[in-house]
Structure 1
Amino acid sequence: MTDKPGDKIMEFGALIKFYRTQRGMTQGELAKGICSVPHLSKIENNSKEANEETVALLLERLNISMKEMEENEEQIKFLLREFSSHINFYLKDQIEDTNQKLKDIEHFIPFSKYIYIWELYKYRYLLFKGLLDKAELQRELLHKQKKNFSQHEDYLFRYYNAVFLMWKGQYKNADEILDDLFNENNNESFNGELLYHRAFIKSSLEQSGHAIHFGKLALQIFMNEFNFIRILHTLMLLGINYTHSNIYEEAQACFQHLIRNAEIVKEEQLLPQVFHNMGYLQQKMKNFKQALYYYQKSLMLQPDHNHDYLVTLYVVGELQYSLKSIEKAKACFEEVSSLAKDLGNKKFSLLAEFYLLKLVSSDKGFKYLETKVIPFLEGANEYADDLILFYKMLADYYNQKGMIVEAVKYLNKITE
Structure 2
Amino acid sequence: MEFGALIKFYRTQRGMTQTELAKGICSVPHLSKIENNSKEANEATVSLLLSRLHINFKEIEEKEELIHNLLQQLGEKINFYLKDKADEVYQKLQEIEDIIPFSTYIHLYELYKYRYLLFRGLLDEAELQKDLLFKQKKNFSQHEEYLFSYFNAVCLIMKGHYKAADEILEALYNDPSNERSNADFFYHRAFVKGSLEQSGHAIHFGKVALQLFMNEHNFFRILHTLMMLGINYTHSNIYEEAEDSFRHLIRNAELLNEEKLLPQIYHNMGFLQNKRNKPKDALDYYEKSLALQPIKNQHYLVTLYSIGEIQYSLNEVAKAKESFQVVSSLAKDLGIKKYRLLADFYLFHIISPDKAFKYLEAKVIPHLEGTKEHKNDLTRFYKMLSDFFRQQGSYLEAVNYLNKII
Distance in 2 (CA, whole Å) between partners of 1:411 and 1:403 is: 13
Give the Å deviation of 1:186: 4.4
Amino acid at match of 2:255: I
Displacement of 1:413 in angstroms is 2.0
Greater Cα offset, 73-82 or 301-310: 73-82
1:325 to 296, 299, 316: 316
Aligned 8 A contact 1:229 1:267 in 2 = no
1:198-237 map, 5 Å: 198-237=189-228
SS at 1:63's partner residue? coil
Q: Distance in 2 between matches of 1:106 and 1:266?
A: 37
Aligned to 1:303: 294
Contact residue 50 and residue 56 of structure 2 kept, 8 A: yes
Partner of 2:36: 45
State yes or no: 1:106 paired with 2:100.
no
Q: Which residue of 1 aligns with 2:12?
A: 21
Alpha carbons of structure 1 residues 266 and 98: separation in structure 2 relative to 1, 3 Å: farther
Quote the residue 2:50 is aligned against.
59
State the alpha-carbon separation in 1 of the partners of residues 374 and 204 from structure 2.
Answer: 25
For the 8 Å contact 2:214–2:222, the answer to whether it is kept is yes
Once the two structures are superposed, residues 356-388 of structure 1 have per-residue CA deviations (whole angstroms, 9 ceiling, x without a partner) of 111001111111111121222222233433222
Give the Cα–Cα distance (whole angstroms) in 1 for the partners of residues 329 and 39 of structure 2.
70
The 10-residue stretch of structure 1 (130-139 or 373-382) with the greater mean CA deviation from structure 2: 373-382
1:224-263 to structure 2, matched below 5 A, reads 224-263=215-254
- What's the CA shift string for 1:14-39, capped at 9, x where partnerless? 10011112222222211111122232
Query: What are the within-5 Å matches in structure 2 for residues 110-129 of structure 1?
Result: 110-129=101-120
Is 1:387 aligned to residue 378 of structure 2?
A: yes
Which residue of structure 1 aligns with residue 262 of structure 2? 271
The 1-side partners of 2:49 and 2:255 are apart by 55
Deviations 1:80-105 (A, max 9, x none): 11111111111111111111111101
Letter in 2 for 1:112: S
- Per the alignment, in what secondary structure is the counterpart of residue 160 of structure 2? coil
Q: In structure 2, give the amino acid aligned to 1:361.
A: S
Counterpart-to-counterpart distance in 1, 2:194 and 2:106: 35
Q: Which amino acid aligns with 2:371?
A: A
Query: What is the CA distance between 1:266 and its match in structure 2?
Result: 4.4
RMSD, matched Cα: 1.3
Q: Distance in 2 between matches of 1:327 and 1:357?
A: 13
Pair 1:71–1:123, CA change in 2 (3 A): same
TM-score by length of 2: 0.97
CA distance in 1: counterparts of 2:126 and 2:200, whole angstroms: 31
Identity %: 68
Equivalents in 2 of 1:120, 1:131: separation in Å?
Answer: 15
Deviations 1:256-291 (A, max 9, x none): 111111143343200000000000111111111110
Aligned to 2:303: 312
Equivalent-residue separation in structure 1 for 2:229 and 2:368 (angstroms): 28
**Do residues 173 (structure 1) and 164 (structure 2) align?**
yes
User: Hey, what does 2:336 align to over in structure 1?
Assistant: 345
Name the structure 1 match of 2:78: 87
1-side partners of 2:190 and 2:281: how far apart? 28
> Secondary structure at the residue paired with 2:255?
coil
Alpha-carbon shift at residue 172 of structure 1 (Å): 1.6
Q: CA–CA distance in 2 between the matches of 1:388 and 1:285?
A: 17
* Equivalent residues of 2:146, 2:178 under 8 A apart: no
Alignment partner of 2:281 out of 290, 304, 315 = 290
- State the AA in 1 paired with 2:243: Q
Cα separation, 2, equivalents of 1:50 and 1:266: 58
Which residue type is aligned with residue 350 of structure 2?
L
> Larger relative contact order (C-alpha < 8 A, sep ≥ 6)?
1
- Maintained 8 Å contact 1:228/1:265: no
Within the candidate set 383, 388, 391, 1:397 is matched to 388
Q: 2:286·2:307 contact (CA, 8 Å) conserved in 1? A: yes
Shift of 1:188: 2.4
Counterpart CA distance in 2 for 1:76 and 1:333 is: 55
Structure 2: how far apart are the matches of 1:364 and 1:326? 17
Distance in 1 (CA, whole Å) between partners of 2:123 and 2:365 is 32
Q: Match of 1:325, as an amino acid? A: E
Report how many aligned residue pairs link the two structures. Answer: 406
Task: State the one-letter code of the partner of 2:392.
Answer: K
